[in-house]
Amino acid sequence: AENMLWGGRFTQGLDPVMEQYNASLPYDRLFYSQDIAGSIAFARANYNNGILTSSEFSAIQKGLAQVKDEWANNTFEVKQNDEDIHTANERRLSEIIGKEIGGKLHTGRSRNEQVATDMRLWLREELWRVESELVDLIKVAVSRAEAEIDILIPGYTHLQKAQPVRWSHWVLSHATGFLDCLSQLRQVISRVNRSPLGCGALAGNPFNIDRHAMAKELGFEALLPNSLNAVGDRDFVFETLQWGSAFMLKISRWAEDLIIYSSLEFGFVRLADAYSTGSSLMPQKKNADSLELIRGKSGRAFGHMAGLFCTIKGLPTTYNKDLQESVEPLIDHIKTVSDSILIATGVLSTLTVNAEKMRAALAPEMLATEFADYLVRKGVPFREGHHISGRVVALAESKGVPMDQLGLADLKGIDERLGDDVLECLDYERAVELKSATGGTSKSAVREQIDLLKKAISGE
Ligand code: ARG
């Protein structure tokens, strides 16, 4: 135990299972470069404080650069007592430059502030990447919506045919939700991007270290203002998991629609081979595995969020080792979200739309509301118009024909206010174009949405 960083007061080594149970290096080695950047900033601040001489600081800086190279080249040799990335880096630094100087790096510092710093630095980069992946997904949606604006599909409520809409309107409905995710993500990033460095184990730094200078060197936007909070806070992790879960929930519903639309029964879309798989038994099968995995992995993302809430909820103020359990869920969650965005973007940019099948799925009954609206335009109260239109539907049903097979005489027999021009109600394009108020499915209203989305994602 003497060899451990904290070995001074210990006389016995760790139980072997405990050693493995306690170690976070297998996953926090991912943060090696962040850990080293944090150490260099810390050493520089301690040099400016007079804690380190200029030659000690350059020795530390040079040594740390070598440690970083070893990780990068896969030549870093992990030793038995390397509990976590902070321990491993400091142990190796002292091997390279000697304990006399290496032992000064940790002056006034705690691993509690280090791990929070490393996680925030790492997460910030990941979220910046996720942000640009999300922008790309929205861009693909917008360009499909532009190119395919003339195609109509049945719009559904309760998964029952409701009213005709533009295919682009469906595409944009999801892109609109993703745009909200994007602006939420930007807020999350600005809270992640704050520096805990210089907060010590819990109480702060005793050598009046310049926290602003360290934050600036590391590119943080701001400082965390309270040391107890800075070391014990994992809001930045669970906010990320909440954000990612909300995104996965949305992309999962998007995937569900496309799974339905790609079934043989619907046939609206065909997934590219690159995002489908076959069956080992049934040669005709082409399964939408990419979309099913998005739907399935959303459960895994929610699970990490719920798990972390349970881990944190009963913890006393500041650092407790339980917080180490926030690292793996975070790493896994980010990968799940990022991969899901990439897959969704791939699926959406390569799928083929079958406009004829979409068209064929439109049913005249979806125009029943048009009859009521027609009567409204003739001065009939909507409630009465709805009733009359309902009788049109009922008559078609009792005759066993689709609504558009009823003759003008049939219609006039129901209500004489259904005039000669009523047959124009049976036009899907007309029905769609009438929904021209902002947010609707007419061409101009859809174009407005396209412009809004383009503006929101451009030039930022
Ligand atoms: N490896 C730890 C973690 O990931 C950081 C070390 C702090 N440990 C401690 N016993 N103070 O949370």
The CATH number for 422's domain is 1.10.40.30
* CATH code for the domain in which residue 276 is found: 1.20.200.10
Per residue in 128-186, pLDDT tens? 999 999 999 999 999 999 999 999 999 999 999 999 999 999 999 999 999 999 999 99
Asked if residue 69 has pLDDT above 90, the reply is yes
d(CA 418, CA 212): 76
Using alpha carbons, select from 321, 325, 422 the residue that is nearest to residue 368. 422
C-alpha span between 142 and 450 (Å, rounded): 6
Residues 292 and 369 grouped into a single domain: no
Are 271 and 405 found together in one domain?
Answer: no
pLDDT band with cut points at 50, 70 and 90 for residue 212: very high
In this structure, are 89 and 63 located in the same domain?
yes
> Same domain for 193 and 119?
yes
State percent of the chain over pLDDT 70. 99
372 and 419 housed in the same domain = yes
Same domain, 131 and 97: no
Question: Per the domain annotation, does 186 fall within a domain?
Answer: yes
Amino acid residing at 244: G
Q: Kindly give the residue spans of alpha helices, DSSP state H, lying in 221-265.
A: 227-232, 235-261
Q: State how far the Cα of 3 lies from the Cα of 453, in Å rounded to an integer.
A: 58
Residue from 190, 263, 279, 444 carrying the catalytic annotation: 279
- E strands along 124-237, which residues? 152-157, 160-166, 194-195, 222-223
Asked if residue 177 belongs to a domain, the reply is yes
Residue range 90-107: mean pLDDT, rounded:
98
DSSP states of 31-46 as a string? Answer: GHHHHHHHHHHHHHHH
- Give the per-residue pLDDT at 327: 98
Assess if residue 2 is contained within a domain: no
State mean pLDDT over 325-332.
Answer: 98
Per the prediction, the chain carries an average pLDDT of 96
Residue 296's pLDDT is 98
- The position carrying tokens 């003739």 is 378
**Is the CB–ligand 1 distance for residue 111 below 6 Å?**
yes
Query: Do 181 and 329 fall within a single domain?
Result: yes
Same domain flag for 181 and 309: yes
Give the pLDDT confidence of 45-56 residue by residue, as tens digits: 999 999 999 999
Residues 12 and 116 in one domain: no
Instruction: Determine which one of 54, 158, 183, 280 is catalytic.
Output: 158
Asked if pLDDT for residue 349 goes beyond 80, the answer is yes
**Do residues 99 and 61 make contact, with C-beta atoms less than 8 angstroms apart?**
no
Question: CA 147, CA 137: separation in Å to the nearest integer?
Answer: 16
Q: What is the CATH number of the domain that holds 91?
A: 1.10.275.10
Domains contained in the chain, number: 3
Q: What is the pLDDT of residue 9?
A: 79
Residues 357 and 368 grouped into a single domain: no
The pLDDT of residue 398 is above 90: yes
CA of 81 relative to ligand 1 center, distance in Å:
14
Q: Is a pLDDT exceeding 90 seen at residue 32?
A: yes
Please state, in angstroms and rounded to a whole number, the distance separating the CA atoms of residues 423 and 294.
44
Most informative mutation of 115, 234, 237, 323 for ligand 1 (most atoms within 8 A of CB): 115
Nearest-CA neighbor of 287 among 265, 271, 299?
271
**Of 329, 361, 393, which residue sits at a domain end?**
361
Only one residue has tokens 């439109």, namely 362
Query: 113-124 burial, b if ≥16 CB within 10 A, otherwise e?
Result: bbbbbbbbbbbb
Mean pLDDT of 235-262: 98
CA distance 391 to 398: 10
Give the residue numbers spanning the domain of 46: 7-107
Looking at residue 20, its amino acid is: Q
* Residue-wise pLDDT tens digits, 269-291: 999 999 998 888 888 888 999 99
439 Cα to the center of ligand 1, angstroms: 51
- Cα–Cα distances in angstroms (integers) from residue 115 to residues 44, 250, 326, in the given order: 19, 32, 11
Q: Catalytic site residue 190? A: no
Same domain for 259 and 144?
yes
Residue 1, pLDDT score: 62
Query: Cα separation of 122 and 354, whole Å?
Result: 43
Quote the radius of gyration of the chain (alpha carbons, Å): 31
Predicted pLDDT of residue 408: 92
Q: Which of 411, 425, 436 is nearest to 374 (CA)?
A: 425
> ipTM for the complex?
0.94
Active-site residue flag, 132: no
